[in-house]
Chain A
Amino acid sequence: MNKPYILLVEDNPDDIELTLRAFEKNRIVNDIVVLRDGAAASEFLFDRIGDGRGLPQVILLDLKLPKISGLELLEQIRAHESTALIPTVILTSSKQEEDLVEGYRLGVNSYVRKPVDFNEFVEAVRQVGLYWLMLNEAPPTAGGGL
Chain B
Amino acid sequence: MSEPSEVTLADATTDAAVLQPNLALVLERITDGFFALDADWRIAYMNPEARRLLRVEGDPIGEVWLEAFPKARGRRFEREYVRAMRQQTPVQFVEYSATAECWFEVKAYPSSDGLSVYFRDVSNRIEAQRELEHNARRQRAIIDFGRAALGGLSYEQLVEDALDVVRDVMEAATVDVYRYDPVAETFTVTASAGWAAGTAFDPKRPPLEHLRHVVRFGEAFVCADLAKDPRAAELAGLRANGAAGLIGALIGTPYQPIGALVVATAQPRNFPVGDVRFVESIAQTVAEAARSHEAYQRMRQVIESIRDAFVSFDRNLRITYVNARMARFWGHTPGEMIGMPLQELARVAGAAAESVMAALRATIEQERPRTFESRFDGSWYEFRVYPFSEGVAAYVRDITKRKEEQQRIIDLNQELERRVEERTKQLELANKELESFSYSVSHDLRAPLRAIDGFSQALVEDYNDQLDGRARNYLDRVRKAAQRMADLIDALLGLARVARTAIVYRNVNLSEIAASFAEELRERDPSRTIEFTIQPDIVVKAEPHLMRAALENLLGNAWKFTRNVGVARIAFGRTSEGEIFVSDNGAGFDMTYAGKLFGAFARLHAVEEFEGTGIGLATVARVIHRHGGTIRAEGCIGSGATFTFTLPEHPDGAAL
State the A residues within 8 Å of B (CB): 12, 14-15, 17-18, 21, 63-64, 92-96, 114-119, 121
Contacts and interface: CB of A to CB of B under 8 A. Distances in A.
B486 interface: yes
B438 A12 contact: no
Contact of B483 (A14, A17, A94, A116): A116
B450 A14 contact: yes
A116 B452 CA distance: 9
A96 B438 contact: yes
* Interface footprint category on B: 20 to 34
Contacts of B448: 14
B69 interface: no
Contacts of A121: 450, 454
Contacts of A93: 442-444, 446-447, 450
Contact of B453 (A63, A96, A118): A118
Contacts of B438: 96
Given A14-B455, A21-B458, A96-B438, A116 B450 contact: yes
Contacts of B482: 116
Contacts of A114: 446, 450
Nearest to B497: A97
Contact of B443 (A64, A115, A119): A64
Given A94-B442, A95-B442, A96-B438, A118 B457 contact: yes
A115 B457 CA distance: 14
A42 B450 CA distance: 27
Interface string B483-527: 100100000000000000000000000000000000000000000
A134 B436 CA distance: 37
Interface in B423-476: 438-439, 442-444, 446-451, 453-458
Contacts of B483: 116-117
A119 B454 CA distance: 8
A73 B456 CA distance: 33
Nearest to B482: A116
A114 B449 CA distance: 11
A15 B453 CA distance: 11
Contacts of B454: 14, 17-18, 21, 118, 121
A106 B14 CA distance: 153
Contacts of B443: 63-64, 92-94
B442 A14 contact: no
B451 A18 contact: yes
Q: Interface SS of chain A: helix, strand, loop or mixed?
A: loop
Contacts of B486: 116-117
Contacts of A14: 447-448, 450-451, 454-455
List of 7 A-B pairs having minimum Cβ-Cβ separation, nearest first: A14-B451, A116-B486, A118-B454, A18-B454, A118-B457, A93-B446, A93-B443
Nearest to B439: A96
Given A116-B483, A116-B486, A94 B439 contact: yes
Interface of B: 438-439, 442-444, 446-451, 453-458, 479, 482-483, 486
B457 A119 contact: yes
B449 A116 contact: yes
Given A95-B442, A96-B438, A116-B486, A12 B457 contact: no
Nearest to A21: B458
A109 to B, nearest CB: 21
B457 A15 contact: no
Contacts of A21: 454, 458
Contacts of A63: 443
Contact of B442 (A17, A96, A118): A96
Nearest to A63: B443
A115 B487 CA distance: 11
A77 B593 CA distance: 56
Given A118-B453, A118-B454, 11 more contacts: A17-B454, A18-B450, A18-B451, A64-B443, A93-B443, A93-B446, A93-B447, A95-B442, A96-B438, A116-B446, A117-B483
B453 A116 contact: yes
Contacts of A115: 450
Nearest to B487: A116
A118 B454 CA distance: 5
A63 B444 CA distance: 11
A92 B442 CA distance: 10
A119 B453 CA distance: 9
A58 B457 CA distance: 27
Contacts of A12: 447, 451
Contacts of B456: 118
Contacts of A64: 443-444
Contacts of A118: 450, 453-454, 456-458
A15 B446 contact: no
B276 to A, nearest CB: 106
A114 B94 CA distance: 147
**For A12, A117, A121, which residue has the most chain B Cβ atoms within 10 angstroms?**
A117
21 contacts: A12-B451, A14-B447, A14-B455, A15-B447, A18-B451, A21-B454, A92-B443, A93-B442, A93-B443, A93-B446, A93-B450, A94-B443, A95-B442, A114-B446, A116-B449, A116-B450, A117-B453, A117-B479, A118-B454, A118-B458, A121-B450
Contacts of A116: 446, 449-450, 453, 482-483, 486
A95 B486 CA distance: 12
Contacts of B446: 93, 114, 116
**For B443, B449, B458, B482, which residue has the most chain A Cβ atoms within 10 angstroms?**
B443
A119 B486 CA distance: 15
B360 to A, nearest CB: 65
Nearest to B445: A93
Nearest to A22: B454
Given A92-B443, A94-B439, A116-B486, A15 B450 contact: yes
A64 B450 CA distance: 16
A131 B572 CA distance: 43
A64 B458 CA distance: 25
Nearest to A25: B461
B385 to A, nearest CB: 62
Contacts of B450: 14-15, 18, 93, 114-116, 118, 121
A21 B453 CA distance: 13
A116 B449 CA distance: 6
A73 B509 CA distance: 42
**For B443, B454, B456, B457, which residue has the most chain A Cβ atoms within 10 angstroms?**
B454
Contacts of B479: 117
